[in-house]
Amino acid sequence: MENNTLDLLIKAFTPPLENPVIIFSLILFIILIIPNILNRIKIPGIIGLIIAGIIIGPKGLNFFLEDDSFVEIFSTIGLLYIMFIAGLELDLNQFKANRNKSIAFSIFTFLIPLGLGFPIFYYLLHPIDPNIDLNASLLIASMFATHTLLTYPIVSKMGISKNRAVAITVGGTILTDTAVLLLLAVIVGNHQGGLSKEFWIQLIISLIIFSAIMFVVMPRIAKWFFKKLESEKHSHFIFVLSVVFFASFLAEVAGLESIIGAFFAGLALNKLIPASSALMNRIEFIGNSLFIPFFLISVGMKVDMSVILEGPAALIIAAVLTIVAIAGKWLAAWVTQLVFRFTKTDRQLIFGLSSAHAAATLAVIMVGVNEGILDDNVLNGTVILILVTCIVASFATEKAAVKAVVEADNVIAEEEDDKEHKDEQILMPIANPKNMNKILEFAILIKDKKSKNALDILTVVPNDTEAEINIKKANEALEEFIKDATASDTQADIISTIDHNPGSGMARMAKETMADMLILGWPRRIGFIDKLIGEKLDLVLKTDKLLFICDFKTPLINNKKIAVAVPPFAELELRFNLWLDKITELAKELSLPLEFYCNETTKDVIKEIIEKRGVGKNTSFEILDDWNDFLILSKSVPEDSLFVLVSARKGSVSYLSIQDNLPTKLERYFQNHSKLIVYP
C-alpha cells in the first residue's frame, strides 16, 4: 500500500505534469511567491512571472506540455483580460481635457518608433534572420509604438498625476494602442492572404458595424442591465465578463483580432464602471490575482533561451529590439517637448511613462507568434526588451517625478490641502437600510482615497426598554453595507448609539467621531420631510459639518451630467473648496460633464479651482443672477441629470430665504430627478 502511494506521488510529480490540480497549485504558488520576492528588490513582478514561466516551461524544467490545453485556456483569458483592463482604466476625462496635445503625442509616439523600427528590421536584420520578412518587420515596428503605463503609480504616489506631461501621456495611450491594434489586423490579413480590395472593404465595413455594436448598442444594454439588476452585484461581474468574451468573438467574426474586441469592450464600459466602485475592484482583483499572472507565466513557457546560445542572431535581435524600443520612445518625447515647448522634466516624465513595454507589447507579439509571423528569436528578444524597458522606465519616471515635485509652483498649497483632507472622516447615518445602497456608493466614490479613516455607518435607536435589542437588530441589518464597502476596497465601521431624538444622536456622534461631513438619505413623504427639517435636520446643521442630503432615483452611472446650482457668495463659505472637491471627484469617477448655474463672480472662482483639478474642459457654466426664480431650472435640467443644489445655514453669508424647506420644494419641482442638497 505504501509503495503504491509512493509510486502515485512520484508519477504525479514527474515532468511533464498531467494532473490539473497539481498544475493549478504550482502556478498559484508561483503567482503568490515570485512577485512578492521581486517587489522587495524593486523589480516589477511581471518580469518574475515571465522568468518563472521560462524555468518551468517545456524549454526549461519541462513541468508542462507545450500544448497543454489547461494552461492555454487560462492564457487566452489572461491576454483578453489585459486588453480589457487597458481600455477600462483609461481616463477619458483626462483625454478630453488635453485632447489636442494627446492626439499630437499619440501621432509622434506611434509614427516615430514605427518609422525607426521598420527599416532597421526589414533592411538590416532580414539578412541575419530570413524569418523577419515584410509582415514580421512591420509587426515588430508596431510593437515599438505600444506602451504600458507601468510606472503611473509612481507619479500618482508623488501627487503629480495632474501634471500636463502625465495627462497627455495617459491620453495618448488611447489612440496609440487603438492604432497599433488596427494595424495588427492589417498585418495578419496580409499574412493570411494579401490586402485585396475585398479585404479593405470587408475590414472597413466590419469595423464600422463592430464599433457601432460596441459603442452604441453595448453601453445601452449595460446601462439597462445595471439598472434592472442593481442589487445583484455578482451578476454585474458575470455580465462584464460576458461582454468581454462576446466582444472578442465579434472581433474575430469581423476579421479583427480578439484582443481588439477586449480593448473596445473596456472603452465601451469605461464610463459605466467608476474607478472606485465595487465592480471595478472585483474586475481588477480577479484579473491581477489570477488571469493576467497566468498569461505572463504562459508567455515565459513559450520562450526557448537555448536559442540564444546557438548563435549570435538571437543576441543581435534582442539587443536591436531593446535599443530601438528605447530610442523610439525617447525621440517621441523629445519631439513632443519641442513642439509644445515643454521643459526637460516634462520630457523625462513623458519618456518614463511611455517607455515601458509590457501588456500591449506581449499581446501584439503573442498574436504574431500564434499566427506564425514571428519566430522564437523575436519572442526571446521581446522578453529581454520587456525586462530592460520596465527597469529603465521605473528609474526614469521616479527621477523625473522628483524633479517635477521640486519645480511645481503649487507644491506647498497642495501639501496643505493634503494635510487637511488626508484624515477626513465621513459619517453616514442610516434610517432605512432599504434605500441606502446608492448613498453608500456615493460615499465610496467621494471618499478621499488617502484617508486612513474608515467610513462610519451610524444607526440611532430610540432610548427605550428595547434599546439593546434594537441595537443588535440594527447592527445585523447594517452588516450587508460593510460587505459592499469592503468589496470596493473601502474600510467601513458600524456605529450604534441610543438617543431619545435621532437628530441629537447624529449631532452628538458627529462631534464624537470628529466627522468632516455627514451623508443623509432623503425621506419620501412631504409631511415627514417637513418634520425632518423642523426637528432632525436643524440639530444636525448646528454641528457645522458639511452635509449632503441625497435622493438618487437611479444608479449614479445612469446620469448623463451633473448640474450644480450655486448661490451668490457661496465661494465665501468655510467649506466651499471641500464640497467642490467632492462634486468634482464624483464627476471624474463617473466620467460625467459638470454644468454650474451661478453668477459671474462665483463662476470665476469655481473655474479657477476646477481647472487645477483637471476637469476644466469638461465643465460648462450658465449665468444665474435671479435666485428667486432658481426653481425654473427644473425645465432646463434634464431628468437624466444629477441635480446638486448648494444651500446654506441661516445666518451664513450665502443664505437666502428661498432656501427654507428646500427638500419640500425640490420634491415638488424636481420630482423625477436624482437630487443632492449640500450644506457647507
Based on the domain organization, do 338 and 428 belong to the same domain?
no
> Is 586 domain-assigned?
yes
Based on the domain organization, do 379 and 423 belong to the same domain?
no
**How far apart are alpha carbons 48 and 38 in whole angstroms?**
7
Domain that holds residue 591: 419-451+514-679
Based on the domain organization, do 205 and 326 belong to the same domain?
yes
Residue 640 grid coordinates: 437624466
Based on the domain organization, do 375 and 429 belong to the same domain?
no
Residue 224 has a pLDDT of 86
Based on the domain organization, do 261 and 304 belong to the same domain?
yes
Based on the domain organization, do 525 and 616 belong to the same domain?
yes
Residue 78 has a pLDDT of 82
What is the chain's Cα-based Rg? Answer: 28
Based on the domain organization, do 51 and 10 belong to the same domain?
yes
Give me the half-sphere count of Cα atoms (radius 13 Å) on the Cβ side of residue 116. Answer: 22
The model carries a pTM of 0.70
CB 332 within 8 A of CB 112: yes
Residue 101 has a pLDDT of 85
Residue 656: count other Cβ atoms within 10 Å of its Cβ.
Answer: 14
Helix (H, G, I), strand (E, B) or coil at 60: coil
DSSP 289: I
> Is 90 domain-assigned?
yes
Based on the domain organization, do 357 and 446 belong to the same domain?
no
> Is 294 domain-assigned?
yes
Residue 246 has a pLDDT of 92
> Is 143 domain-assigned?
yes
Based on the domain organization, do 205 and 350 belong to the same domain?
yes
Strands 492-499 and 619-623: unpaired
DSSP-assigned states of every residue in 305-327: THHHHT-HHHHHHHHHHHHHHHH
> Is 493 domain-assigned?
no
Residue 50 has a pLDDT of 76
> Is 223 domain-assigned?
yes
Based on the domain organization, do 348 and 444 belong to the same domain?
no
Instruction: Provide block-wise average pLDDT over 10 residues at a time, the chain (680 residues).
Output: 66 71 83 80 71 79 68 79 76 71 87 86 73 78 77 66 74 76 77 72 84 90 83 82 91 77 85 79 82 79 67 75 88 90 87 78 76 76 78 80 70 44 72 70 79 75 63 66 67 72 73 79 52 53 78 82 84 83 83 84 83 70 76 77 82 74 71 82
- What is the count of structural domains for the chain? 2
CB 551 within 8 A of CB 436: no
Residue 335 has a pLDDT of 92
**How far apart are alpha carbons 146 and 364 in whole angstroms?**
9
Based on the domain organization, do 113 and 78 belong to the same domain?
yes
Based on the domain organization, do 441 and 402 belong to the same domain?
no
Q: What is the 3-state secondary structure (H, E, C) of 508-552?
A: HHHHHCCCCEEEECCCCCHHHHHHHHHHHHHHHHCCCCEEEEEEC
* CATH number of the domain to which 371 belongs: 1.20.1530.20
Residue 161 has a pLDDT of 62
* CATH number of the domain to which 547 belongs: 3.40.50
Where among 407, 434, 462 does a domain terminate? 407
